[in-house]
Structure 1
Amino acid sequence: MAQFASWCTHCDTPVGAHYMRVLTGDASRLHFGIGATAAIVPDHYASEEHVARVLRMLGKPGAAALIEEKLPTTKAIRSGDLGEIYATEWIAANTVYQVPVKRLRWKDHRNMAMRGEDVIGIALDPATAQLSFLKTEAKSRANLTSRVLTEARAGLDKEGGLPSAHALSFISARLVELGNLPLADAIDNATLNVGIPPATVRHLLFTFSGNAPDGLLTDALRTYAGIYGQWSVGLRVDGHTAFVGAVYDKVIADAHYP
């Protein structure tokens, strides 16, 4: 887990019928944030099983090379990936939804952004087999602006606000490969048979930025006129660009540590 509570303060604010949380990195504890984040980043790019197989076959240098070859090298892609990783980790730690597939493992190229919804949280009611979804857009910028939130809003509103069939098909196919057949079957039934009722969908806008997101997120929630419940979570870290660089530097250093 990203252990946000160990290096961030937070403030929860209702905005109309919606919810907003702002996390602020404590300058005196950012080294904890760098360490906690670096510890989870590799698993978002390569499965533990894959790393373990390479470790057994080629030793620590081979496993380190596998991880390093998966990591993006450009500042922009690192920033965007880390925003998606933080959104995934926040959902897992703070909501009833799970993110069953870490999609960065299937990037076409490490320095390319993936298309489609950034993250989709899924909850399965064991009693009714009813699925509910958390459609998520994650934005990471050193300087967050209203234009960036407008782009995120457009992404959330695509497909009538529902998760796209393409994104859910991708998740289902990966779940079959991973052996999670009950959840794969439930997703296929929802997308190919019974449909997804809007009442089972909620939206999350997650931002990771160097400037304060409070006012921007509040304005975006106040102007939203759609039918879906909205969550907005903003993570602020002063020195955003340096922080991102420090995280990836530590991932590489830890991978090569004897």
Structure 2
Amino acid sequence: MELFKNWCASKKEEEGRKRYWKLAEKPGGRDAIRDSLAETMRSHYDRLDRIAEDVARLGFEKAATILRAVLPKTAKARSGELGEILATELVEEEVGLRVPVRRLRYKDGREMALRGDDFIGAGYGQNDDKLWLLKGEAKSNKVLGKTTIVNARKVLCRDDSRCTPESLLFVANRLLESEDEDDVALGRTIRDEVGCKSLPPGRIDHMLFTMSGNAPPAALKEDFDAASKNRDHYVVNLRIDDHQEFIAEMYEEAQSLGDE
């Protein structure tokens, strides 16, 4: 699904291995992707086939009750989690790596924040079969400011700028539980990386994804300019003018399964 292509206009700047993307809603863009985004959000909290089975067994109303039990209710949790969801979708649509595990399915409390890296992309190099990773940090604020950006970059630079071992193991172990042979192979490779730490910096991309109601502040461009040149960096802002209203609207859409 080309979510962002149908939804947003983009301005992209590139400098070596660094990319600065500014996204904003196109006229009519939200209406074009509203239903598909709601379905995408559901898929981050539960498998769509399980939701369909709930509907078949219990009907729409009771199936929606099950879904609502895992969706966050507070504005803060919804904001952060929708940021992670959109960042994940952008990686898969624009970067060409998979985010192979939907972390939000594994929360132990609907308002609890998950620890570790916000999202991890994984795959193989275009010209070889060696592992390639992306370490991501997502921030969603009505007003995005310098402090948030600086703190997010500090998180990306932790652990010698590598994905945290606990985050990699979480992804690897979920893949090893899969019945898909390719998933299992990727999980084994990621698990090996935790032990060997053999992946060079140039094969660990970074993405700082921000969603905000204000235009990207100067601090975001400064972050892009200061980013190192030894890896692919993606510095992204998605501007949603009615930031908080949009988040509330989309969670209402996501938890409504309709009646047909």
TM-score by length of 2: 0.91
Aligned positions of 1:18-29 closer than 5 A:
18-29=18-29
User: How far apart, in 1, do the equivalents of 2:2 and 2:247 lie?
Assistant: 14
CA shift in 2, pair 1:198/1:190, >3 Å: same
2:214·2:239 contact (CA, 8 Å) conserved in 1?
A: yes
Query: How big is each residue's C-alpha offset from its partner over 1:64-97, in whole Å with a ceiling of 9 and x where there is no partner?
Result: 1221111100011101111000000001111121
1:143 and 1:27 mapped to 2: Cα distance? 22
Cα offsets for 1:124-174 (capped at 9, x unmatched): 249743101111101101100011101110110111000111101000111
CA distance in 2, matches of 1:151, 1:216: 12
Structure 2 counterpart of 1:4: 4
> % of aligned pairs identical?
31
Superposed CA offset, 1:6-47 (max 9, x none): 221110112565211111013543333433321211000001
Over aligned residues, Cα RMSD in angstroms? 2.0
**Aligned 8 A contact 1:2 1:33 in 2:** no
Aligned equivalent of 1:156 = 156
TM-score norm. by structure 1 comes to: 0.92
- Stretches of structure 1 that go unaligned for 5 or more consecutive residues are none
Stretches of structure 2 lacking an aligned partner (at least 5 in a row): none
CA contact (8 A) 2:79 2:141 kept: yes
Give the 3-state SS of the residue equivalent to 1:71 in structure 2.
coil
Q: Is 1:130 the counterpart of 2:130 in the alignment?
A: yes
Matched-pair contact (CA < 8 Å) for 1:2–1:37: no
Alignment check: 8 A CA contact 1:133 1:201 kept = yes
Change (3 A) 1:207 1:232: same
**Counterparts in 2 of 1:226 and 1:11: CA distance versus 1, 3 Å:** closer
Q: What is the match of residue 144 of structure 2?
A: 144
Report the AA paired with residue 65 of structure 1. T
How far apart, in 1, do the equivalents of 2:217 and 2:33 lie?
A: 21
Q: Structure 1 residues 4 and 130, CA, compared in 2 at 3 Å: closer, same or farther?
A: same
After superposition, what is the alpha-carbon deviation per residue over 1:214-248, rounded to whole angstroms, capped at 9, x for unaligned? Answer: 63321111233574331111100111000111101
2:241 equivalent to 1:238: yes
**Which secondary structure state, in structure 2, belongs to the residue aligned with residue 70 of structure 1?**
coil
Query: How far off is 1:176 after superposition?
Result: 1.7
Shift in alpha-carbon separation, 1:57–1:35, aligned structure 2, 3 A: closer
**CA displacement at 1:193 relative to structure 2:** 3.5
Q: Secondary structure at the match of 1:54?
A: helix
Q: How many residues are paired up? A: 257
Match of 2:210 in 1: 207
The aligned counterpart of 2:190 is: 187
Query: Which contiguous aligned blocks of 4+ residues in structure 1 show a shift greater than 4 angstroms?
Result: 125-128
